[in-house]
Each structure stands twice: as C-alpha cells, then as structure tokens.
Amino acid sequence: MYPWERVNPKQDSTLRIIHESVKRGHDVAITHPQNLTIRDSITLSFCKTVQPTTKKLTSSITGFYKSLKFKGSMRSMSDFDVIFMRDNPPIDPLVFNFLDSIKDDVFIINAIDGLREANNKIYTAAYHDPHREIIPATHVSKNIEYLMRIIEESENDKMIMKPLDGYGGSGVIVIEKSAMHNIKSLLDFYINKGDGKSNYVILQDYVEGAENGDVRVLMLNGKPIGALRRRPAKGDARSNISAGGTVEKYKLTKADKMLCSKIGEKLVRDGIYYAGLDLIGGKLIEVNVLSPGTITDINKLNNTKIQEKILNYLEDVVLLRDQLKENFRPENIVTHATT
C-alpha cells in the first residue's frame, strides 16, 4: 500500500479493509513496493505485522489507526493467502516481476497480469468500443502537433485533458477551442515537464453533464457493490473527493447496471476483481484498479459496510482455492458477497 503515515483515518478505504480483516482474526501485515526482495529464489518483503491485543477491538476507525501496534519482520510473500494491492498508481512495473513467482500460489487482488494491462489510463482508453457506446472518444499521445490537430478537428467546443499517470483528479482540466492560443503551451507543459523525459497525455471528448460531477461505482468480481455521486467544488472541473468534491447518495439506473455488466465481464476476464468505475452520462470515463476509494462515503450514505462484502469474497476465494487447488478461476465463484 501507500505509506502508512499518509493515511487519513477518517476517510481512508484501505484502513477499513484492514480493520475488517483484523476484526475477523486474520493475520494481517502491510508492506510497500520498495520493501520487496528476493533471497534464495524466494520473494520476501519487510512487513509490518499487526500485533494482537487482549483489548476488545474498537469500532472507531480513527481509534483503531492510532492504537495499532506493529512488529517488523521479513516475511515470505507466499505465506499469505491474499495479497491486496492498494498502492497509488502507477505502480512500478518491477513490483510485478517480484510477484510473478508467487502469483499461482497466492490470490493477488488484482491479478498481476491484469494490473500489467490496467496499470494506467491506457486500459480505459484502449477499450474496444467502435461505436462509442461505452467510452467517449479518447486519444493518447505525446505528439503535440497531432494533439493540436485532434482539438482543432473536434466537433465539440470543449475537451478534457489529463496526464496518463495521474490519480485523484490530479492534472485534469477542461480545454476550450476559444482558448486555442493557450493550448499548445499547456500541451508542452504536460508533455515536457523538464524532468528529462516526455509524458503521455489523454484528450477525451467532453461529456455533457460532466460539470455536474460523476458517478463512482465499486465493482467486486464483475458486479457493482456500491455507488455514489460526486459533485465538483465550485469553479473546479474535478469531482474527486481528494480535490474538494462532495458526495451524494446515488442509486444505479437500469442503464448504469447494463454498462457495469458489460464492463464487469471484461474486468474479470482480465483478472481485475476489485475496481472503481467513474461514469458520466452513461459513459465510462476511467477504471481505477489499484486503490479506488469512496468506501467510507458509500458506507455513510447507505448505512452499509462495503469492507464486509470484500472480506466475504476474499474468504470465499481462499476457501475454494483450498478445496479445488487445480483448475481454479476466481471469476467462477458465486459468493454471498456479490449476490
């Protein structure tokens, strides 16, 4: 996961998953990408293991965060039943190489091969959708002249521009044809940041209604398990909570459910068992596969506990892995968590 010190206990989704795991009596440890190592052909990591306590586990997540005690030690990654990938994107590709050796022995969520494909926003941009029924027209490039031509030829007055490797709404802006004299400079800034390398940017057709925010849907094993609407702060194009957006209760429409079903089938085929979808106007804008948040807000708005559904699913997966051992595919599981 991302650094423990950066966790905001009032909002953090990962912390809710950890709390539920500890509550159920599981052996829980956290680690970070830079802690991975290989010794004698065994993949290890320096982990901080949650220490048991004789005290009753507090239901206060903030209290839990402050009182948690760890013991640091080097542990074999194959000793765990589940590895939950919760780092901020994009993840260092070397992490995948480290975990390749254990991917057949441990249930990794999301699957290493799936994360290789979905590690950045190209995953959504490259979605096969010739009739633009699922995603708005999307272009990924670092060629400034090409991107300028795309903007000039667009039938829309507005487009969305964002960095390929951003998250939490970082760098997302609306560009307008009426400000064409500024756009080349913006593209140059995004692509050539002065760090010695050029960066890809995404241009996406502006979807009407985007000014009113988006819908975040949490998907588990190809099915929606919770949703909310995010509204942008005044004067901001971004709906992300981390960028100052607000949240509202939201009930998925029939069209939303059909869209989630189509996307869910692909997610599971690709080994993406837990993800956050961002929808606007019936279109898929992004798929978040590493550390999608909003568990806390969905829980509050709907008086539910998403983390319980996640742990139910993980426990079912591990149980069936132990029973079947061979010819196992997680997507074949029908669990009480997602039905």
Task: Please give the backbone phi and psi of residue 251, each rounded to the nearest 5 degrees, phi first.
Answer: -110, 125
**In CATH, which of 2.60.120.260, 1.20.1250.20, 2.60.40.10, 3.40.50.20 is domain 4-118?**
3.40.50.20
Are domains 4-118 and 213-306 of this chain identical in fold? no
Model confidence at 196: pLDDT above 80: no
Q: What are phi and psi of 174, to 5 degrees?
A: -100, 130
User: What CA–CA distance (Å, rounded) separates 174 from 190?
Assistant: 14
* Lowest-pLDDT choice from 153-162, 200-209, 235-244, 302-311: 235-244
Angle in degrees, 0-180, between the axes of helices 295-302 and 306-324, rounded to the nearest 10: 120
- pLDDT band at residue 332, thresholds of 50, 70 and 90? low
Q: Which residues pair with 47 in a beta bridge?
A: 73
pLDDT tens digits, 261-302: 999 999 999 999 999 999 999 999 999 999 999 999 999 999
Per residue, the 3-state secondary structure of 200-239, as one string, reads: CEEEEECCCCHHHCEEEEEEECCEEEEEEEEECCCCCCCC
Query: Token digits for 185?
Result: 């400079």
Greatest extent of the chain over all pairs of C-alpha atoms, in Å: 66
Closest CA to 112 of 90, 87, 95, 88: 95
Select from 3.30.470.20, 3.40.50.2000, 3.40.50.10070, 3.40.228.10 the CATH code of 213-306: 3.30.470.20
pLDDT tens for residues 58-95? Answer: 999 999 999 999 999 999 999 999 999 999 888 889 99
Task: Please name the residue that has the structure tokens 């670092």.
Answer: 142
Round to whole Å and give the CA distance between 114 and 270. 5
Q: Enter the tokens of residue 124.
A: 């959504």
The CATH number of 137-205 is 3.30.1490.20
Please name which of 96, 235, 240, 220 lies closest in space to residue 168, comparing C-alpha atoms: 240
Alpha-carbon distance of 274 to 289, in angstroms, equals 7
Domain extents in the chain: 4-118, 137-205, 213-306
Bridge partners, 202 (sequence order): 140, 162
